[in-house]
Structure formats: C-alpha cells, structure tokens
Amino acid sequence: MVEKVISDFVVHGLSSIVIYPNPYRSKASEFSWETQEKLDYSIASRDGKICWIGKAEALSESVKLTSDAEVISGRGLSAVPGFVDSHTHLVYAGDRSAEFEMRVQGRKYLDILASGGGILKTVSAVRSMSEDELFHESKERAWKMIESGVTTLEIKSGYGLDLENEIKILKVVKRLAEDLPIRIIPTFMGAHAVPAEYRENSDKFVEMICRKWIPAIADSKLAKFNDVFTENKAFNVEQSRLILESGKKSGLIPKIHADEINVIGGVDLAVEIGAASADHLLKTGSDGIKKLAGSGVIPTLLPGTSTFLMESHHASAREMIEAGLPVAIASDMNPGSCQFYSASMIQTLAMLQLRMSASEALIAATLHSAHSLQVGNMTGSIETGKSMDLVLIEAGSFRQIGYRAGDNIVNMVIAKGIPVFSQ
Ligand SMILES: [Zn+2]
C-alpha cells in the first residue's frame, strides 16, 4: 500500500484545474506554452506548499489530513495559479486624473509636464507624505490587487528621487511585505526620472545613484532588483549601464524599462548585462526580438499602459511568441500611465491588444511573470513542492478569465496555503 501524503489544507472537488505539463524552469530556451485542464481534481498542501494533486475521488486513499486540517469545497470552481504582477509602481501619492483628461483631449505630454503634470508631480506628492500615510494608502491599493487574484507582487521605488525618499518608499514596501499575506518583491528604481534639481546635469545624478544610493539600498537589504528607465529625456544607454553595473556589484539584479517610446539600445543593454527582464518593449521590432531570443531575458509586456496612453501600436507579442520567447505580462500600475490594477483585466487586454490566446495570457501572468522575478521555482504554477498560491474562479474553465472583462469572477484567493480573500 502506498504511504499517504500528510496535508493540513485541501481544496476538494474542483470543476477544473490548470496544469502546465512542461513548466519552464530556469532557462528561457526550456519553456512551454502547453496548458492542460484537469477536470474534477483536488489540491492538497502542507505548511503552505502543494503536496498532492489528483482526482477528487482519490483524495481519501492518498491523503491523510492532520487533526486541524481545513478542507474547502471547490464545487463549481476552477483553480488557476495565483497571479504574479511583476511590474508595478504601487507605492505613490496624489492623483493625476486631470492629466488623464488632458491626454484624452489631445494635449501632448510635454505640455502636460509644463503645466505641472507627469512623474515629477507624483514625486512632490510622495516627498510631502509621511511613511505612515504612504503605507496606509498603498496597503489599500495592494488589497485591491490581492482581491483580483494577485499572490506575488513586485513594487518599485522611483517617486522619491532623493535618497531619503527612495528609502522611505522601500521601507513602505518592506512593511507591506510584513503586513500582507502575499509575496512582495522590492525593486529599487532611483533612475525613474531625472529630478528637477539635476535637469542640467544628469551625469551627476547618475554618479550619485551609483556611488551613494545603490550601496546604501543594498546594505540595508531593501531591494532585490535594480531598475532603470532607458529612454530619451530619461537615462541614455551609457548612464543605464553604469547604474545596472553598479547594482550588480552590490548584489542587485538588473531590470530595465526599454523601447517604450524610442528604440535607443535598451534591449541590447538588457542582453549584454543579463537583465532578469526587459519591460514595455512597445517599439521593439524584429531586430530586438532576435536579440532577446535565447538570451534568458524575459520580455515583460504591459498592455494596460499602451491602452491607457491610447497608443495605436501595441507590443509585438505574436512575433515574440513565434520567436520562442517566454512573454510575461504585468500591470505597470502607477498614477500616470496605467490605472488598470486587476490581474484578469490585464489578461483581457493581452488578448485584445496583444492578440494572445487565453492560455498564453494565463501563463504570461503566472509562470513567466514568476520567472521574471526569479521566483519561478516557488510559485507561478500548480505543482507539488511549490507554494500553494491559487485563485479559485467562479467558472468551469480558465478561459472565462479574459473573456468576462469587468466582472470579478474571483471567488477565493489562497496565498501560501491560507485563504486570504473570499467573496
Ligand atoms: Zn514601470
């Protein structure tokens, strides 16, 4: 007789679960888009990790429940991996609705900047807010994302743009990680914009980031990744290289905002430096896609942003998928260029704007996103040994996620084996 698996938490009798039969593990060349739906399955976990997946009818002969085990009925529900939002600027203050309206009316970004809008407006709002206020405001926002199914959330700094305020933001991220039941991953992005006080001498700002800020952030262990906005009027390739190299020396893993508005060499730098991901890629063409293929850099597409900015052109997801790239998608949640926060809405937009299939959008929002944060070995798919991070949806198939746009079909969110939200 086979020895039973011991479990303290079970979701029993699900209508369907989604399995990636050949999950890509460490190299970009070893992934698969394959998706299988298993009907009438149960999933068991112990101490927050999945320990058994099987037909519901086999549960009692395969699993021994601990005396305090919790068993939840999955009747009428489907389970998908917890969503991984791998690119957000969630910790911010203030409101930019006026700028949104100006853009809708056709005003150009530079006009908006001249009338006091843009990133620098958020910077002054963040600088004038206390750590406590920023924490409470951001926590409310994070809960909305959790309720949409997010169980792993990356958050970038970058609205402080001086060391004191960048640290304040990263401390807020640390408090969110301690306070919230999900996995939160911090990214330092001091090079988000050139602050007004350095507009005439951005090299000096870059030097300060490299020499002072990065060592301070790394020493206090406030960030895992180091990100830079490589773009005209932000940071050129040389400056970006200095920032990412000095981050690497301090143990921060490089990420990059590349090819959002102009192609100036961000993708080349991402490949050269071995970035974990290159994000946006709105303007990346065949050349860039060829460079990314086989490089290990995960392309992260942000269809919420190109929609919110009313771009007529969206990232070339189809060409990337055909070139064998493990495309990830994320929200880019921020006050200026994307107020879409719902993980299922981002999958809807990936289907509508990027022409991805329902299963491509789901894998992009889970497993590939997890790999872009280098946590693909612990979350992003329903597999034994991984964290019990699940979204239970009120549908017979995951194909309803993108389709039922505007309808929150999330019934329950489970993070690390604990139900953290239900409705
Ligand atoms: Zn961003």
Give per-residue pLDDT as tens, 189-230. Answer: 999 999 888 989 999 999 999 999 999 999 999 999 999 999
CATH 1.10.630.10 correct for 5-81+381-422? no
Mean pLDDT of 359-374: 96
Helices (H), 220-366: 237-249, 266-273, 286-292, 303-308, 317-322, 343-354, 358-365
Single-letter amino acid, residue 133 = E
Q: How far apart are CA 127 and CA 121, in angstroms?
A: 10
Residues 6+ apart with CB under 8 A from 65: 6, 7, 8, 10, 71
Percent of the chain that is helix, strand, coil (3-state, to 5): 35, 25, 40
Cα of 41 from ligand 1 centre, angstroms:
38
Cα of 155 from ligand 1 centre, angstroms:
10
Cα of 388 from ligand 1 centre, angstroms:
28
Q: How far apart are CA 145 and CA 345, in angstroms?
A: 11
Yes or no: say if 373 and 355 are a contact pair by the CB < 8 Å rule: no
Q: How far apart are CA 225 and CA 363, in angstroms?
A: 22
pLDDT at 2: 73
Structural tokens at position 53: 């997946």
Q: How far apart are CA 150 and CA 180, in angstroms?
A: 12
Q: Indicate whether 294 pLDDT > 90.
A: no
Cα of 259 from ligand 1 centre, angstroms:
12
Cα of 77 from ligand 1 centre, angstroms:
34
Yes or no: say if 153 and 187 are a contact pair by the CB < 8 Å rule: no
pLDDT at 293: 93
pLDDT at 30: 61
pLDDT over 70, % of the chain: 96
Give per-residue pLDDT as tens, 74-129. Answer: 999 999 999 999 999 999 999 999 999 999 999 877 677 677 678 889 999 999 99
Structural tokens at position 221: 């262990």
Mean pLDDT of 354-359: 97
The DSSP-derived string for 140-186 is HHHHHHHHTTEEEEEEE--S--SHHHHHHHHHHHHHHHHHSSSEEEE
The CATH T-level fold of domain 83-372 is TIM Barrel (3.20.20)
Q: What is the rounded (10 degree) CA torsion for 123, 126, 127, 130?
A: 180
Letter string b/e over residues 135-155, b meaning 16 or more CB atoms within 10 A of that residue's CB: bebbbeebeebbbbbbbbbbb
Residues 6+ apart with CB under 8 A from 322: none
Which of these, 153, 75, 159, lies nearest to 122 by C-alpha position? 159
Q: Indicate whether 187 pLDDT > 90.
A: yes
Backbone angles phi, psi at 421, to 5 degrees: -155, 135
Single-letter amino acid, residue 387 = S
Cα of 88 from ligand 1 centre, angstroms:
6
pLDDT at 112: 78
Q: Where in the chain is the domain with CATH 2.30.40.10?
A: 5-81+381-422
Q: CB count, 10 Å around CB of 266?
A: 30
Mean pLDDT of 263-282: 97
Cα of 358 from ligand 1 centre, angstroms:
24
Give per-residue pLDDT as tens, 24-83. Answer: 554 555 677 888 999 999 999 999 999 999 999 999 999 999 999 999 999 999 999 999
Cα of 253 from ligand 1 centre, angstroms:
16
Cα of 330 from ligand 1 centre, angstroms:
10
Residues 6+ apart with CB under 8 A from 216: 163, 167
Cα of 106 from ligand 1 centre, angstroms:
23
Nearest 5°: the CA angle 416, 421, 423 is: 145
Q: How far apart are CA 145 and CA 340, in angstroms?
A: 10
Sign of torsion over alpha carbons 394, 400, 401, 403: negative
Mean pLDDT of 322-340: 95
pTM of the model: 0.96
Mean pLDDT score of the chain, rounded to an integer?
94
Q: Indicate whether 289 pLDDT > 70.
A: yes
Cα of 293 from ligand 1 centre, angstroms:
22
Single-letter amino acid, residue 6 = I
Q: Indicate whether 258 pLDDT > 60.
A: yes
Cα of 191 from ligand 1 centre, angstroms:
11
Write down the residue that tokens 């771009």 correspond to.
Answer: 311
Q: Where in the chain is the domain with CATH 3.20.20.140?
A: 83-372
The DSSP-derived string for 116-149 is T-SHHHHHHHHHTS-HHHHHHHHHHHHHHHHHTT
Give per-residue pLDDT as tens, 155-172. Answer: 999 999 999 999 999 999
Give per-residue pLDDT as tens, 131-159. Answer: 999 999 999 999 999 999 999 999 999 99
Yes or no: say if 382 and 48 are a contact pair by the CB < 8 Å rule: no
Cα of 278 from ligand 1 centre, angstroms:
11
Structural tokens at position 183: 């996995």
131-147 and 163-179 are packed helices; what angle lies between their axes, rounded to 10 degrees? 50
Cα of 32 from ligand 1 centre, angstroms:
27
Cα of 319 from ligand 1 centre, angstroms:
22
Structural tokens at position 207: 């030097």
Strands 328-329 and 390-393: unpaired
pLDDT at 116: 67
Cα of 164 from ligand 1 centre, angstroms:
21
Write down the residue that tokens 């101490």 correspond to.
Answer: 47
